[in-house]
Amino acid sequence: MDVWQITSFTLLTALAATALMVPPGLALAWLLARRRFRGRVLVETFVSLPLVMPPVATGLILLLLFSPRGPVGGVLARVGIDVVFTWRAVVLAMTVMGLPLFVRTVRAGFEQVDTRYEAIAGTLGASPIRVFFSITLPLAFPALAAGAVLGFARAIGEFGATIMVAGSIPGVTRTLPVAIYTFTEIGRDRDAAMLLAVSAGIAFAALWLSNYLTSRAGLRT
């Protein structure tokens, strides 16, 4: 068993997923924190849905959407992009499952930024885009970092949606949690235990970092 391959694959796909969470996550967090619009509660509910739905059910939805006969997968297949049972499906599952945590954390960060700073920046001639990037985002940065770490940690631990949409193909889609499950099932307990130790180490480091950043965010505002 290649512990290194499984670990590095999991870390890389989780990093890619975290990077993919940031643009839509920032936009959603800002919308929910700063705008009152019709359907706001609906958006809020929709974003948080993967947090409360069984991950396997979320995985099934993704499978239906992204399979070559699905509405999204069909379009992608026509341009030659396969998703299900490839590394892309792993990243997709991780992104969808991590996004709610990212959005909730960053939204709370935006809400802590005093709107007076934004109003004053506006009177000084800064456009809303400049206000966002020069005032709101830097002031909410610790929350942004904490949200990214949480989303990343969630991505590392993703199992249910991943196994549905990506399976457990050695060297192709097998991530740490999926490998632990597979090895335990076929009686390779030592391998499973080794991967368990690696996951515990990563989870501990990620949570410690997130808590550290969150506490810094609390001190700053």
Partner 1 sequence: MIEIDIRLEQGSFVLDVRERLEARVTVLFGPSGAGKTTILDAIAGLRTPVRGAIAVNGRTLFSSTGGINLPSHTRHVGYVSQDIALFPHLDVRRNVTYGQRPGQKLSLESVASILEVGALLDRGVSMLSGGERQRVALARALMSAPDVLLLDEPLAAVDLELRRRILPYLERVRDELAVPILYVTHDRDEARRFADRVVVLDRGNVIRAGVPAEVLPGTDAPAAARKG
Contact residues for partner 1 (CB under 8 A)?
A: 114, 116-117, 119-128, 131, 134-135, 138-139, 220
Residue (52 or 129) nearer to partner 1, CB = 129
CB atoms within 10 A of CB 48: 15
Task: Provide, rounded to whole angstroms, the least separation between the CB of residue 19 and partner 1.
Answer: 24
Nearest distance in Å: CB 131, partner 1: 8
Instruction: Considering the complex, state which of residue 78 and residue 116 has its C-beta at the smaller distance from partner 1.
Output: 116
Are the C-beta atoms of 29 and 103 separated by less than 8 Å?
yes
Smallest gap from Cβ 137 to partner 1, in A, equals 10
Q: Which is nearer to partner 1, 114 or 185 (CB)?
A: 114
With H, G, I as helix, E, B as strand and everything else as coil, classify residue 126. coil
Contact assessment for residue 118 and residue 136, using Cβ atoms and an 8 Å cutoff: yes
Q: How far is the CB of 128 from partner 1 (least distance, A)?
A: 7
CA distance 56 to 68: 19
- Angle in degrees, CA 177, 142, 145, rounded to 5: 30
